[in-house]
């Protein structure tokens, strides 16, 4: 079966024996078109299943009322909560959002940006993929004068608006909590240093160890993609060390869950033998046994602020020249795995 022909304004005009210009004016409620003609146009448009070409409309008006949102993954409570909060704010302002996910792939992220630019979005709000090092595709957004707001993961080199939590302080708070519980050998399963937020978490962790007079042991600092499988693999590695850690700080709840699985499978008591802390405050952290201590990332606030920052740029020319670096305080949610 062939593809169904796309119905255009010309088809409606031919059906009613009027000009395409008259149909267009009727659809835009032009006062020069009679009410009878407007109703006839609506009726025929419905009968023919006419769908407006929003891309063509955006090209004509220079405005699409669409905002592109790029996230590494949508199955994370953090990112889904950010998206929900963004959408609430943007919908109230008359905008719809187009969501794409990179699946942590640089190549897919580049394709998403090209697609969103082709769709004539009025702005892009993004959190970068783990693989992203080359920023030229983000520079492309800036060169077109399209507002770009980064959240959670972003690069200082881009010099654009950013919303996130204080990742450096988060690590400081975590290490302080573990030291207060008597821990002296704290491991860190983190993300890759090339990503700013994970680099800041590693820096915060190292500086906190120095602050509390604990030794820096490179064998306890691990970089990974922070999947559940990574958490399992790296926890198995740590258990094979001659001098095991008495605490593990993991920069993702999913990897922390993998680490907890391995500890449970090896009958290692958490928190008596090893204390465990995750990051992100995913819903499952309060449901597993033992429940996982984690850092709340204020996803609702981040989504709201990122959306409001975009709206400021499209509503006020003065703000187009100013940048917002909004860093929210970290909050440690203490549960059984570390308490």
Which residues, 6+ apart, have CB-to-CB distance to 22 below 8 Å? 13, 33, 37
Residue 148 lies in a domain: yes
Q: Supply the pLDDT for residue 156.
A: 65
| pLDDT of 230 | 97
The CA distance from 18 to 41, in Å, is: 10
Task: Note whether 211 and 178 are same-domain residues.
Answer: yes
Query: Domain check: are 265 and 177 in the same one?
Result: yes
- What is each CA distance from 55 to 62, 138, 308, in whole angstroms? 10, 22, 25
Asked if residue 216 has a cis previous peptide bond (ω within 30° of 0), the answer is no
Say how far residue 326 (Cα) sits from the centre of its chain: 15
Judged on CB neighbours under 10 Å (0-12, 13-18, 19+), 60 is exposed
Q: Are 16 and 39 contained in the same domain?
A: yes
Q: Are residues 183 and 292 in the same domain?
A: yes
**71 and 29 assigned to the same domain:** no
Whether 131 and 182 share a structural domain: no
Residues 42, 15 within the same domain: yes
Residue among 237, 262, 259 nearest 248 (CA): 259
The answer to whether the beta carbons of residues 265 and 236 sit under 8 Å apart is no
User: Do 179 and 68 fall into the same domain?
Assistant: no
Positive or negative, the Cα torsion across 39, 41, 42, 47? positive
Place of tokens 């970089």: 223
Regarding whether 224 and 271 lie in a shared domain, the answer is yes
> Do 138 and 215 belong together in one domain?
no
| Domain housing 27 | 9-52
How many structural domains comprise the chain?
3
CATH assignment of the domain containing 293: 3.40.50.2300
pTM of the model: 0.79
Give the pLDDT of residue 76. Answer: 84
Q: Tens-of-pLDDT digits for all 339 residues of the chain?
A: 445 577 788 888 888 889 888 888 888 788 888 888 889 988 888 888 877 766 555 555 567 889 999 999 888 889 999 999 999 999 999 999 999 999 989 999 999 999 999 888 999 999 998 888 888 999 999 999 899 999 998 766 788 999 999 999 999 999 999 999 999 999 999 999 988 899 999 999 999 999 999 999 999 999 999 999 999 999 999 999 999 999 999 999 999 999 999 999 999 999 999 999 999 999 999 999 999 999 999 999 999 999 999 998 888 654 455 567 889 998 999 999 998
Cα separation values, 263 from 39, 228, 236, 289, 298, Å: 69, 13, 8, 11, 29
Residue 4 lies in a domain: no
Same domain, 180 and 288: yes
Same domain assignment for residues 173 and 244: yes
C-alpha torsion angle, residues 308, 313, 316, 321 (rounded to 10): 130
């Amino acid at each position: 079966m062939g593809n169904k022909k796309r119905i255009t304004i010309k088809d409606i005009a031919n059906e009613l024996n009027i000009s395409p210009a008259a149909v267009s004016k009727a659809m835009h409620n032009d006062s020069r078109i009679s009410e009878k003609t407007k109703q006839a146009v609506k009726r025929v448009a419905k009968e023919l299943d006419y769908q407006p070409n929003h891309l063509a409309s955006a090209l004509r008006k220079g405005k699409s009322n669409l905002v592109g949102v790029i996230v590494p993954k949508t199955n994370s409570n953090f990112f889904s909560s950010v998206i929900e909060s963004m959408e609430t704010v943007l919908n109230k302002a008359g905008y719809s959002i187009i969501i794409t996910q990179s699946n942590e792939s640089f190549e897919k992220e580049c394709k998403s940006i090209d697609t969103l630019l082709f769709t004539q979005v009025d702005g892009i709000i993004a959190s970068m993929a783990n693989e992203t090092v080359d920023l030229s595709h983000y520079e492309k957004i800036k060169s077109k004068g399209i507002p770009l707001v980064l959240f959670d993961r972003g690069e200082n080199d881009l010099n654009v608006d950013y919303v996130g939590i204080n990742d450096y302080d988060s690590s400081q708070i975590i290490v302080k909590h573990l030291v207060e519980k008597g821990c002296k050998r704290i491991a860190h399963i983190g993300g890759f240093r090339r990503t700013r937020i994970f680099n800041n978490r590693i820096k915060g962790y190292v500086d906190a160890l120095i602050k509390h007079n604990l030794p820096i042991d490179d064998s306890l600092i691990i970089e990974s993609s922070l999947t559940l499988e990574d958490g399992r693999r790296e926890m198995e590695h740590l258990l094979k060390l001659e001098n095991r850690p008495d605490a593990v700080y993991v920069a993702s709840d999913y990897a922390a869950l993998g680490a907890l699985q391995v500890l449970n499978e090896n009958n290692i008591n958490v928190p008596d033998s090893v204390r465990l802390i995750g990051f992100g405050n995913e819903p499952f952290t309060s449901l597993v046994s033992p429940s996982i201590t984690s850092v709340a990332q204020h996803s609702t606030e981040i989504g709201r602020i990122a959306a409001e920052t975009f709206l400021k740029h499209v509503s006020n020319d003065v703000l187009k020249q100013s940048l917002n670096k909004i860093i929210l305080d970290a909050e440690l949610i203490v549960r059984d795995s570390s308490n």
